[in-house]
Amino acid sequence: MPHTGPAATQPKLKSLVHSDVLGRLNWHNPAMPFIYTFETATCEEFIPLWHLAYRYPTFLTTRELAHATGFCEATMREYCNRHCDRFPDFVKMTEGSRRGLPPSAWKDSRATHNQYGLVLPELPVPLAPAWIHDSAEAEYHKEMMAAIPEWPLVSEVARFLMVNLVYHSERRRCVLIEKKITSLVRSSARYINVHAHQLNSGRNDYPIGKRDHPCRTWSKVTIHKLVLSWERHWTSGGKQASRIWRLPPTPEGFPSGEAAAITAPTKVAQTTGERILEALTRSKDIRELVNELHVTRTAINSAGDRLRRQGLIKKRSKDIDGLWKRALWERVTPPVPADRKRQWLESQLTERGWTKRDLARFNGPDHKTVDKYMRGEPVYGATREKIALALSQKIRRVRVEEVP
Domains of the chain: 16-128 (1.10.10), 272-331 (1.10.10.10), 338-402 (1.10.260)
The pLDDT value given to residue 79: 92
pLDDT of residue 13: 40
57 torsion bin: left (phi>0), alpha (psi -120 to 50), beta (else): alpha
Identify which of 71, 58, 62 has the alpha carbon closest to the alpha carbon of residue 98: 62
User: How confident is the model at residue 140, as a pLDDT?
Assistant: 95
- Give CA–CA dist 325/142, Å, rounded: 63
Separation of alpha carbons 398 and 306, rounded Å: 38
Nearest to 310 by CA among 271, 348, 340: 271
Distances (CA, A) of 106 to 100, 109, 113, 127, 170: 10, 7, 11, 41, 42
Torsion of CA 1, 32, 153, 42, to 10 degrees: -100
Taking the chain (404 residues) in runs of 10, the rounded mean pLDDT of each run is 40 48 82 89 92 92 89 90 91 72 50 80 88 93 94 91 94 85 87 90 74 75 82 65 86 90 68 81 82 82 82 70 63 74 88 88 87 81 84 86 82
